Amino acid sequence: MARSAGGRKIVLRNKKARHEFHVLEELEAGLVLEGAEVKSLRAGRASFTDAYAAVEGGELWLHNLHISPYESAHIDLPDPLRRRKLLVHRRELDRLTVRTAERGLTLVPLDLHFTRGRAKVTLGLAKGKKLHDKRESLKKDVMRREVERALHGRSERE
């Protein structure tokens, strides 16, 4: 687990999210967990593959977040792919309901972390990228890396 600014322990990052989507804004939400799921998360046994969030029935839910069962737990093992409730303020939920109703906008999990012992997920309100956008992003990343290499190499020679 990596520590970032503000005492957050980052458990999991969705590396594909920023490649596949334009993230317009970010939001932090609490995550409702059952049983030994917290221990599995602390051990880093989770996956964001195909995960997304959606507003259903006036509540925010996280779908397809895979949390592997904790090895030492023997009772009450929840389904690893079950949908999990997300906790946000009512105003944020109302705003997200309106924004996700817009064509092409979705809620994508960006990372999963612990803040002061509480499991949180950072959601991004995002719009899907087209193929040419992905190529452009890759070109920018390659150029940025080349510039960093050139600057790094120059500082060693001086």
Q: Any idea where the domains of the chain sit in the sequence?
A: 2-129
Mean pLDDT of 125-148: 80
**What whole-number distance in Å separates Cα of residue 129 and Cα of residue 108?**
13
Single pTM value for the model: 0.71
**How sure is the predictor about 4, in pLDDT bands with cuts at 50, 70 and 90?**
low
Instruction: For 5-49, give the DSSP string.
Output: TTTEEEEEE-TTHHHHEEEEEEEEEEE---TTHHHHHHTT-EE-T
Give 93-134 pLDDT, tens digit per residue: 888 888 888 777 888 899 888 888 888 899 988 887 777 767
pLDDT over threshold 60, residue 155: no
Mean pLDDT of 2-13: 71
Mean pLDDT of 53-58: 86
Neighbours of 120 (CB within 10 A): 19
Strands 2-4 and 59-63: unpaired
The topology under which CATH files domain 2-129 is Small Protein B; Chain: A; (2.40.280)
**Residues 6 or more apart from 96 whose CB is under 8 A from it?**
27, 55, 60, 88, 107, 125
Average pLDDT, the chain: 81
